[in-house]
Structure 1
Amino acid sequence: MYDRGQGCDPVDQAAIRNLVALYCRGCDRRDFALVRSLYHDDAVDDHGAMFCGGPDAFVEWLPKAMEPWELTIHSLSNSVIVIDGDVAEGEHMVRAWHRTHPPDRREVIVYGRYLDRYQRRLGEWRFLRRSLVFDHGETRPVDEEALAALGRDAVHGTADRGDPSWALALIARSGGIAR
């Protein structure tokens, strides 16, 4: 019998969803200290043959893994979270969009899922185990003409602290962590 969320505390569900969203922000804004803060010290991150290990090694690996990408956007959808006391599991669909650096920019889009185990310690939910499942992918050249035309009058995002989101004082001061 499936538990369709009956008895799951909406506050805990929201905290776990925020944890997963903060992971995406940390990767996309290259805020690796934020990413590290989301894992328990004894956690494991399993990105398959690319990386499998503890959170310190993962955060040490991330800058090199992100180096080929001018910009990334990790978008979440269709999340399932099941909570049992101070442990929980989650499955989150992710569309991870990557754009290479000029001059010959390409888009690499990975569709997959994060399979997570979380644990609440001292009142705070963090990752205990995170694994990435690949479902589909595609690559294509960047339509530079469309990018220029569509973005002509808009502020452009960056993968660092130059991104406009860092002007949001509460997010910048807290590292995005809801308290």
Structure 2
Amino acid sequence: MRLTVERLLDRQEIEDILIGYARGADRADVDLIRAAYHADAIEDHGGVYVGPAADYVALMAKILPTAPLMSHLCTNISVEFVEADLAVTECYFLTFSRREAESGSFDSLTMARCVDRFERRDGAWKIAHRRLAWEWNHEMPINETWGRGMIIPDIGKAVRGAKKPDDILYGAWARQRSGEEIAA
């Protein structure tokens, strides 16, 4: 099926929401997660949580600020337009996180798929119902040498990712015009 320009714009809006959700999870930016859902949306997080998305977002607001740093890679995005204002999407999330347990620290790599029913209401596409399926998980001991020192010889000088508002994404420098830049 050939997509119209309007459908391509719809698809881009949907993809932006999925990627914004991932950014929100990684940076503890709960506003981005909340913005992904309609107010009456349902979240089924693979059986771990099933209920109103608003309650899920409230739970994430408590957990994410102190959760370990993680990275969600949003890939293999499929969008099927069922009706003018209804789309079904499938998106793969590959998530890396550093975890703490009584037995010690470890790294975790997890693959999950989200199948979302997106609805356009009042001109905005958002998730009306999300179902997540866990695909696989791999855990490994922490082995962070940064290429045995070849990538980053002095890790103490490296700029590291952080949560909102401390991550470089939220710095005023990025929103200043050249010549008006401010430090850090």
Q: Fold conserved (TM > 0.5)?
A: yes
| Equivalent residue, structure 2, for 1:174 | none
* Contact 2:34/2:54, CA 8 A, preserved across alignment: yes
Query: What are the equivalent positions in structure 2 for 1:53-92 lying under 5 Å apart?
Result: 53-66=51-64, 69-83=67-81, 84-92=83-91
- The counterpart of 1:155, out of the listed 148, 153, 159, is 159
* Contact 1:75/1:96, CA 8 A, preserved across alignment: yes
DSSP-derived class of the 1:24 partner: helix
Q: Is residue 164 from structure 1 mapped to residue 164 from structure 2 by the alignment? A: no
DSSP-derived class of the 2:163 partner: coil
| Equivalent residue, structure 2, for 1:33 | 31
Unaligned regions of 5+ residues in structure 1, if any?
Answer: 171-179
| Equivalent residue, structure 1, for 2:44 | 46
- 2:50 maps to a residue whose letter is C
| Equivalent residue, structure 1, for 2:105 | 105
* Contact 2:65/2:163, CA 8 A, preserved across alignment: no
| Equivalent residue, structure 1, for 2:181 | none
* Contact 1:68/1:101, CA 8 A, preserved across alignment: no
* Contact 1:112/1:132, CA 8 A, preserved across alignment: yes
In the TM superposition, what is the alpha-carbon distance from 1:64 to its structure 2 partner?
4.9
CA distance in structure 2 between the aligned counterparts of 1:58 and 1:81, rounded to whole angstroms? 24
Q: Name which of structure 1's ranges 150-159 and 19-28 shifts more when overlaid on structure 2.
A: 150-159
Query: What are the equivalent positions in structure 2 for 1:135-150 lying under 5 Å apart?
Result: 135-146=135-146, 149=149, 150=151
Percent of aligned positions that are identical: 25
In the TM superposition, what is the alpha-carbon distance from 1:169 to its structure 2 partner?
3.1
Tell me how large the CA RMSD over aligned residues is: 2.5
Q: Name which of structure 1's ranges 30-39 and 138-147 shifts more when overlaid on structure 2.
A: 138-147
CA distance in structure 2 between the aligned counterparts of 1:122 and 1:148, rounded to whole angstroms? 53
* Contact 1:72/1:159, CA 8 A, preserved across alignment: no
CA distance in structure 2 between the aligned counterparts of 1:85 and 1:147, rounded to whole angstroms? 49
CA distance in structure 1 between the aligned counterparts of 2:144 and 2:75, rounded to whole angstroms? 28
| Equivalent residue, structure 1, for 2:94 | 95
CA distance in structure 1 between the aligned counterparts of 2:141 and 2:61, rounded to whole angstroms? 24
DSSP-derived class of the 1:50 partner: coil
* Contact 2:90/2:113, CA 8 A, preserved across alignment: yes
DSSP-derived class of the 2:145 partner: helix
TM-score by length of 1: 0.82
Unaligned regions of 5+ residues in structure 2, if any?
Answer: 177-184
In the TM superposition, what is the alpha-carbon distance from 1:141 to its structure 2 partner?
1.3
DSSP-derived class of the 2:68 partner: strand
TM-score by length of 2: 0.80
In the TM superposition, what is the alpha-carbon distance from 1:34 to its structure 2 partner?
2.1
DSSP-derived class of the 2:112 partner: strand
